[in-house]
Amino acid sequence: METSPEPLPHKRRQRYSGKNPRKFEEKYKEHRPESYPETFQKVLDSGKTPAGSHRPILVQEILQILRPQPGEVCVDATLGYGGHTCEILRLLRPAGRLIGLDIDPIELPRTEARLRLLGFGEEEFTAVHANYAAMNQVLNSLSLPAADLILADLGISSMQLDNPARGLSYKSEGPLDLRMNPGKGSPAWEFLANLDQEKIVEILIENADEPYARLIAPILIEDRARNGLRTTSLLAASVRRGLQSLPKQLRDQEGDAPIRRVFQAIRIAVNQEFATLEAFLRVVPQVLNPGGRVAILTFHSGEDRRVKKAFQDHARSGVYREINDPVIRASAEEVRANPRASSAKLRWAIKA
């Protein structure tokens, strides 16, 4: 059912110095694509992601794999901005249904409101604040016995990453939080407060293959005692200090890569991302109908290894009748238009 869009409440224009807004919260036109479609498109055309949005990756490839049909049931396990969901929902019409899950209580209602504005009604689209590892319970609670399609696009969205208040990026100043669900667990600075040096080394290596883990960890411990590592910039500065003993040429060559990896490693630990992914991979075959399709997009080796192994194990035991090999990557053209697609790897499986 198509619904007519409700007008959004009036918002006072953000004030900023200079000709163009620079800060995330000042880019009010990018945050409101329904009111400023030209600005939104201009940013997209320049190869950037508009503030407060997210560009879906490998969309056509995912549609070819999942082949959504009218009347089918799909679970988008990581709803995010709803980019993939939008495309899938159109193909499920008429009579299809999509359940979109996300653990982020801040972005989920925004995405739900945006999708309603686009005309997706309650009977075809349900947004649920839930962890994807609990996908089977969610389907049970909706009296849905199984799904025909499952999509998971792992990690974090651009709007989470770019919002300084979420403390997810070393590129902007914010509290060192790193949680996808700030209503649960502890922020990263508190989590770090309880770790010994060996545990920090283990997290950096296990979660991000950090080659300088043994140089960085003792400095994090020192700086933690001095300033509590309570903000993104304090953690970034501490990692830089940890690399001071490296030859300058090597430091220049590495650039910000070690900082990005340290943030990634701590984020994975704070959100227990690997344990959750493993639980999800166990649940997928229980939830899929025979002949059902699953597609999973990963963004680093720790995720891809786990997806590859689970798919191979289930293919060997006959649970999946087909899996892809080799992995699917974004085209050079897509990476040019959206550099965040460069690390994406897509795997799929079909249930026997």
**Interface contacts to ligand SAM, rule CB under 6 A:** 54, 56, 78, 80-84, 101-104, 107, 131-132, 153, 155-157, 180, 276
Helix locations, the chain, DSSP H = 28-31, 37-45, 59-66, 83-92, 107-117, 135-141, 158-162, 188-193, 197-208, 213-227, 232-242, 248-254, 257-270, 273-287, 301-316, 332-337
Closer residue to ligand SAM, CB minimum distance, 106 or 350: 106
Q: To the nearest whole angstrom, how small is the minimum distance from the Cβ of residue 59 to ligand SAM?
A: 8
Q: Give the residue nearest to ligand SAM (CB).
A: 80
Q: How far is the CB of 54 from ligand SAM (least distance, A)?
A: 4
The β-bridge partners of 150 are 75, 294
Give the residue with the Cβ less far from ligand SAM, 238 or 338: 338
Tell me the C-alpha distance between 269 and 120, whole Å.
35
Which CB sits closer to ligand SAM, 101 or 215? 101
Contact by Cβ (8 Å): 40, 33: yes
- Which two tokens mark 166? 């979420």
C-beta of 50 vs 56, nearer to ligand SAM: 56
Q: How far is the CB of 297 from ligand SAM (least distance, A)?
A: 7
Shortest spacing between CB 237 and ligand SAM, in angstroms: 27
Query: 320 has which bridge partners?
Result: 351
Closest by CA position to 157, among listed 267, 20, 68 = 267
CB 60 within 8 A of CB 87: no
Of 229 and 344, which has the nearer Cβ to ligand SAM? Answer: 344
Query: How far lies 307's CA from each of 156, 277, 292, 319, in Å?
Result: 17, 8, 17, 15
List, as own/partner pairs, every contact residues 27-30 make where C-beta atoms lie below 8 angstroms and the sequence separation is at least 24, other chains included: 27/51, 27/52
Report, in Å, the least distance between residue 352 CB and ligand SAM. 26
Task: Quote the least distance from Cβ 266 to ligand SAM, whole Å.
Answer: 15
Would you say 35 or 272 has its CB closer to ligand SAM?
272
Smallest distance from the beta carbon of 160 to ligand SAM, in angstroms? 6
CB nearer to ligand SAM: pick between 73 and 159: 159
